[in-house]
Amino acid sequence: MKTTATIQGTHCPACTALIKDICSDFSAIASCSVDYATGRMELEHTEDLSLDDLKKEIETIGKYTVIFDTAV
């Protein structure tokens, strides 16, 4: 599956690194790309991924707001 999201609050390469690090902790995520300038995140993952859990983890590491756009 592919999922896209907007992460409000990203502003530097460290934000990208933090979010990718969180994503690497989820075994259901095969790949993650984050563009801090646009706040766009693209994920490839299995159906087992809990988007709610991922959102909570990302939002606890900084002043981020995660808004999931699509899951295909």
CATH of the domain at 11: 3.30.70.100
Q: What is the pTM of this model?
A: 0.91
Are 23 and 32 in contact by the 8 Å Cβ rule? The answer is yes
Structural domain total, the chain: 1
- With vertex at residue 5, the alpha carbon angle to CA 34 and CA 65, rounded to the nearest 5 degrees, is 90
Express each pLDDT in 10-44 by its tens digit: 999 999 999 999 999 999 999 999 999 999 999 99
Q: Which domain holds residue 14?
A: 2-71
